[in-house]
Amino acid sequence: NEIVSQFAIQGNVVEVAPLGNGLINTTYRVKTEEGQPDYVLQNVNNAIFPDVEMLMDNIVAVTSHIRAKLEAAGTEDIDRKVLNFIPTKDGKYFYFDGAKYWRVMAFIPDTKSMTAVTPETSYIVGETFGNFQAMLADIPAQLGETIKDFHNMEFRLKQLREAVAENKAGRLAEVQWLVDELEKRAEEMCKGEQLHREGKLPKRICHCDTKVDNILFDQEGNVLCVIDLDTVMPSFIFSDYGDFLRTAANKVAEDSPEIDKVEFDMEIFKAFTKGYLESASSFLTSVEKDNLPYAVALFPFMQAVRFFADYVNGDTYYKIAYPEHNLVRTRCQIALAKDMLQKLPEMEKIILPSSILSEVKEKLTVSVKEVSEWN
Binding-site ranges for ligand GN1 (CB under 6 A): 23-24, 48, 147, 209, 254, 303
Nearer to ligand GN1, 7 or 307 (CB): 307
Residue 23 partner contact from ligand GN1, Mg ion, none using kind-dependent CB cut-offs of 5 to 8 Å: ligand GN1
- DSSP classification of residue 375: -
Residue nearest Mg ion by beta-carbon distance: 209
Burial 250-285 (b: 16+ CB within 10 A, else e): bebebbbeeeeebebbeebbbbbbebbbebbeebbe
Burial 83-106 (b: 16+ CB within 10 A, else e): bbbbbbeeeebbbeeeeebbbbbb
Q: How far apart are CA 113 and CA 105, in angstroms?
A: 18
DSSP 92-108: -S-EE-SS-EEEEEE--
Nearer to ligand GN1, 50 or 323 (CB): 50
CB of 356 to ligand GN1, least distance (A): 32
Nearer to ligand GN1, 65 or 329 (CB): 329
Handedness of CA 314, 315, 321, 324 (dihedral sign): negative
Residue 48 partner contact from ligand GN1, Mg ion, none using kind-dependent CB cut-offs of 5 to 8 Å: ligand GN1
Q: What angle do CA 295, 299, 304 make, to 5 degrees?
A: 145
Nearer to Mg ion, 6 or 214 (CB): 214
CB of 47 to Mg ion, least distance (A): 15
Residue nearest ligand GN1 by beta-carbon distance: 23
Q: In Å, how far from its chain's centre is CA 183?
A: 24
CB of 34 to ligand GN1, least distance (A): 35
CB of 243 to Mg ion, least distance (A): 11
Nearer to ligand GN1, 23 or 73 (CB): 23
Nearer to Mg ion, 23 or 72 (CB): 23
Q: How far apart are CA 135 and CA 133, in angstroms?
A: 5
Residue 19 partner contact from Mg ion, ligand GN1, none using kind-dependent CB cut-offs of 5 to 8 Å: none
Nearer to ligand GN1, 23 or 116 (CB): 23
CB of 228 to Mg ion, least distance (A): 5
Instruction: Tally the residues of the chain.
Output: 375
Nearer to ligand GN1, 80 or 329 (CB): 329
Rounded (to 5) percent helix, strand, coil in the chain: 50, 15, 35
Q: Compute the radius of gyration of the chain from its Cα atoms.
A: 22
HSE-CB for 233 with a 13 A CA cutoff: 20
Residue 303 partner contact from Mg ion, ligand GN1, none using kind-dependent CB cut-offs of 5 to 8 Å: ligand GN1
Helix (H, G, I), strand (E, B) or coil at 29: strand
CB of 179 to ligand GN1, least distance (A): 20
Residue 121 partner contact from Mg ion, ligand GN1, none using kind-dependent CB cut-offs of 5 to 8 Å: none
Q: How far apart are CA 247 and CA 242, in angstroms?
A: 9
Nearer to Mg ion, 209 or 339 (CB): 209
CB of 250 to Mg ion, least distance (A): 18
Residue 324 partner contact from Mg ion, ligand GN1, none using kind-dependent CB cut-offs of 5 to 8 Å: none
DSSP 131-155: HHHHHHTT--SPPP-SSTTTT-HHH
Residues 6+ apart with CB under 8 A from 361: none
CB of 46 to ligand GN1, least distance (A): 13
Where along the sequence are the contacts to Mg ion (CB under 5 A)?
209
211 vs 62, 113, 208, 262, 362, CA distance in Å? 19, 11, 9, 19, 34
Residue 348 partner contact from Mg ion, ligand GN1, none using kind-dependent CB cut-offs of 5 to 8 Å: none
Residue 360 partner contact from Mg ion, ligand GN1, none using kind-dependent CB cut-offs of 5 to 8 Å: none
CB of 178 to ligand GN1, least distance (A): 18
